[in-house]
Amino acid sequence: MKKSFVNEDNRRYGIIRRASIIGIAGNSFLALLKLTGGFLTGSLALLGVGVDTATDIVTSIITLVAAKITVKPPDHEHPYGHSRAETLATKILAVIVMFAGIELARTSGQRIITGEYREVLGLPAIIISLCSVAGKTFLALQKFRAGKKACSSMLIADAKNMRNDIFISAGVFIGLGFTYIFDLPLLDALTGLVIALFILKVGFDIFRETDMELMEGIEDPDLYSKIFAAVAAVPGASNPHRVRIRKLNTLLVIDLDIEVSPLLTVLEGHEISKAVEKRIRQDLENVYDIIVHLEPEGNVEHAEKFGLSEESFREPCPGEEENG
């Protein structure tokens, strides 16, 4: 890996490491507060958000471990490096979040069905839920800032989970308020069930976010337009095709074919490919590697099945014309 990427990886690791340590410390305090409060006050909703916060400790630990793996240099088994560890970690985070939601839904549903409600000490639980809102707000903002600074999808996913925890804690506050005012323990169980469904949705959304990268897709199609424009700006280079882009965490790996005059020497063709690579790196950020394959002008290979050309990129996908 080039030295600039090594320095960048170390910088990203430092940011993620600090954010993860803060997350572990903050969530440990909040989880202890809410779990203890849930047991002492009898609030299932407060106990549920305590369990959810406890899973946030695990996610911060996973984030910390994954960040350490991503900075490892390429080796024989991983010639592209270990950046995908962050993507896999995001999947694990999503599964943990969904598991917490399933357990809370099971407990809340069981209590609603059986009608076995405990008396809830509303006022202490309300105070704890307010502390939870304040603490989660701080942690969410801190992780969002760190995630954007480090361009870390894993950290941003964790921050989104924290942001949703703010709404969850606010929902618990409202539910406990009504439970306290109307003296209806059923409301606490219903609040727990609603929170569980919300947690499940959050986990599913996080799980889906990494599908694009694992399927070798790109969320921003404008990157292809920039590559076509970059090739057009290099004298002697034409017809970019079989263009493929894939992500390695925050970095891009680009493969493309271009056509040059068949009368050029190998050295002249090589200089054109170097110029194409240089221009692409100028126009696109976070490019890890570019592979340029040269072909003589007018070359046609019908067996080519992968990648995009400028012409195919502009063509509508099947069904788009019918749908307008």
> By mean pLDDT, which of 10-19, 123-132, 168-177, 199-208 is the weakest?
168-177
What number is the average pLDDT over the span 120-128? 70
Q: Is 251 helix (H, G, I), strand (E, B) or coil?
A: strand
What angle separates helix 222-232 from helix 266-283, to the nearest 10 degrees?
A: 140
pLDDT, one tens digit per residue, over 222-256 is 889 899 999 999 999 999 998 988 887 667 889 99
**Mean pLDDT of all residues belonging to the chain:** 78
Domains of the chain, CATH where assigned: 3-214 (1.20.1510.10), 222-314 (3.30.70.1350)
**Strand pairing category for 251-260 and 287-296:** parallel
Of 190 and 15, which is predicted with more confidence? 15
pLDDT value, residue 318: 45
**Amino acid in the structure at residue 118:** R
DSSP 234: S
Strand ordering across the sheet containing 238-248: 238-248, 251-260, 287-296
DSSP code string of 137-160: HHHHHHHHHHHHHHT-HHHHHHHH
pLDDT value, residue 79: 76
Could you tell me the pTM of the whole model? 0.61
- Whether the predicted pLDDT of 324 surpasses 70: no
pLDDT value, residue 5: 53
What number is the average pLDDT over the span 80-91? 77
- Whether the predicted pLDDT of 210 surpasses 80: no
Q: How many whole angstroms separate alpha carbon 126 and alpha carbon 117?
A: 18
pLDDT value, residue 227: 93
